[in-house]
């Protein structure tokens, strides 16, 4: 196990960011396992580990060509894309999800870099509904998306949904890994 993966799993456990029970998810489904990623992404050690790990994957797999743009949906992807932008020395864009109804009526906040290539960044992905909306919005304005990097894949269909859009999913952690760590810790009763 890589040091950053161990750090992240330990933070999920020590910050009580994993829970068993019955929970309604953002996509409308229910789950017996809850992952409160904000308890990790809002912690300096966690955010630093996330940015460092994502930067390693992005560099090793050449996911962000020179001039490409990092893009994250609000709200949960924002701290990660900010930290990652600092780590990679790359500007980024935030997807509001819909165009705002005032000012310049923009959906995407920030400035896209020279390349049409965008790399989607987020904290957690379940069935992929937020990611697919962001990808569709980017493609509507002529941008290209072939990869998404997330902190946690809940392994509930997002990978397949993104594959249908010709987008590869790269996840630092999976629900299975977090569930196993919770069980191993003795707190996953």
Instruction: Give tens-digit pLDDT for 6-41.
Output: 999 999 999 999 999 999 987 778 899 999 999 999
What would the mean pLDDT of 58-66 be, rounded to a whole number? 95
Q: Domain limits at 46? A: 3-185
- For the chain, what is the mean pLDDT? 95
Q: The domain that contains 177 carries what CATH number?
A: 3.40.50.2020
Number of domains in the chain: 1
What confidence score (pLDDT) does residue 58 get? 98
How far apart are alpha carbons 32 and 140 in whole angstroms?
A: 36
Q: Which two tokens stand for residue 117?
A: 């290539």
What confidence score (pLDDT) does residue 160 get? 98
What confidence score (pLDDT) does residue 188 get? 65
What confidence score (pLDDT) does residue 52 get? 96
What confidence score (pLDDT) does residue 88 get? 96
Q: Is the pLDDT of residue 170 over 70?
A: yes
Instruction: Give tens-digit pLDDT for 144-166.
Output: 999 999 999 999 999 999 999 99
Report how far apart, in Å, the C-alpha atoms of 105 and of each of 4, 18, 96, 97 are.
39, 38, 11, 12
What confidence score (pLDDT) does residue 53 get? 97
Instruction: Give tens-digit pLDDT for 82-118.
Output: 999 999 999 999 999 998 888 888 999 999 998 999 9
DSSP code per residue over 81-143: HHHHHHHHT--EEEE-SS--SSTT--SEEE---SSSEEEEEEEEESSSHHHHHHHHHHHHTT-
Contact 89, 118 (CB under 8 A): no
Q: Is the pLDDT of residue 189 over 60?
A: no
């Amino acid at each position: 196990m890589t040091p950053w993966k161990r750090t992240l799993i330990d933070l999920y456990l020590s910050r009580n960011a994993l829970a068993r029970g019955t929970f309604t998810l953002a996509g409308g489904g229910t789950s017996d396992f809850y992952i409160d990623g904000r308890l990790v992404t809002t912690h300096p050690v966690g955010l630093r580990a996330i940015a460092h790990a994502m930067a390693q994957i992005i560099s090793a797999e050449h996911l962000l060509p020179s001039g490409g743009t990092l893009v994250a949906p609000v709200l949960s992807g924002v701290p990660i894309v900010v930290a990652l932008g600092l780590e990679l020395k790359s500007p980024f864009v935030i997807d509001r999800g819909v165009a705002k109804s005032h000012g310049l009526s923009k959906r995407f906040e920030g400035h896209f870099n020279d390349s049409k290539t965008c790399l989607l960044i987020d904290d957690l992905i379940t069935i992929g509904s937020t990611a697919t909306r962001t990808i569709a919005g980017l493609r509507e304005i002529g941008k290209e998306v072939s990869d998404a990097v997330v902190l946690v894949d809940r392994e509930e269909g997002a990978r397949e949904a993104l594959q249908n859009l010709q987008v590869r999913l790269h996840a630092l952690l999976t629900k299975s890994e977090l569930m196993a760590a919770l069980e191993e810790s003795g707190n996953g009763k």
